[in-house]
Amino acid sequence: MAVYPSFFALYPAFERTSKVRALQLSNGVRPLPMWTAYFLFDLCFVLAVSIAYTVTISMQFPYWEGPEYMFPVCLFYGITAILIGYIISTRAASQLSSFLWTLGFSCLTYFALALAYTVSFVPPPKVSRGAGKN
């Protein structure tokens, strides 16, 4: 889940570094339809990954109540990852750097989420009552 969003930054970075986007824009391609086409194309892959992940989770844990909640979570995660990949691809120097920056950002947010989830469930320290009284 942290690796596949990095691939969404490759093609926009390639177009920017090879000056294809400048050629498209000079020939009359408007930015909004261009980015919408990118997004809709990448959304097909996000839908496929979200469906496959939801089916896999529901098969692995048949008694888990609520695998239907995984689909919108994965879908919104994928949409967010597409947009983050696009933002990074507009600033990165090359395709490889856009891929690695997006991968690093995804891994960093994964570890931050794991840390926040773990820290929020740490039990409070036990306080012994009557300590120090003789």
Q: What angle do CA 116, 51, 54 make, to 5 degrees?
A: 50
- 62 with 91: CB under 8 angstroms? no
Q: What is the pTM of this model?
A: 0.78
What is the C-alpha to C-alpha distance for residues 28 and 121, in angstroms, rounded to an integer?
54
Q: Please state the domain extents for the chain.
A: 4-112
Please report the pLDDT score of residue 133 as a whole number.
56
DSSP 69: G
Question: How does pLDDT run along the chain (134 residues), one tens digit per residue?
Answer: 888 889 999 989 998 888 887 888 888 888 898 889 999 999 999 999 999 989 988 888 878 777 788 899 999 999 999 999 999 999 999 999 999 999 999 999 989 988 888 887 767 777 767 655 55
DSSP letter assigned to residue 9: G
Which amino acid, 25? L
